[in-house]
Amino acid sequence: MEPPATNTPYAPPTMPQEAPPAPRYAPPQCGARCRDGHACKAPALLWKRRCRMHGGGSTGARTPEGRAKVLACLAAGRARQLARRTGATDRHEAPRADELAAG
């Protein structure tokens, strides 16, 4: 097809542009100050404000009281899980873990 005979330059018809891709979710950056002074750009841990290198995660209980509490919560959670699996409606109806292991 020949361009029109005018003084304006010929521009072919443009195709409609595709929509830009939706932005991907990026977790917030840590932002802690590093030793050289710049802000840390590592992604923050889930539901936290800092990354794994700047205090985002827990290392667990250190004191004997804390460890005992963790074990008690673990045993209670295991009992609830067993109760759901066995169909017990009351937590006292659920078999104990040592009873299940024994027989």
DSSP string, 32-44: PBPTTSSBP-SBP
Domain-located, residue 2:
no
Closest CA to 49 of 35, 33, 28: 28
Structural domain harbouring 87: 60-102
Number of domains making up the chain: 2
Domain-located, residue 22:
no
What's the confidence (pLDDT) of residue 47?
Answer: 84
Domain-located, residue 7:
no
Q: Are residues 64 and 78 in the same domain?
A: yes
Domain boundary among 36, 57, 78: 57
pLDDT averaged over the chain? 78
pLDDT tens track for 37-50: 999 999 988 888 89
What's the confidence (pLDDT) of residue 11?
Answer: 64
Q: How confident is the model at residue 27 (pLDDT cuts 50, 70, 90)?
A: confident
Domain-located, residue 39:
yes
Domain-located, residue 90:
yes
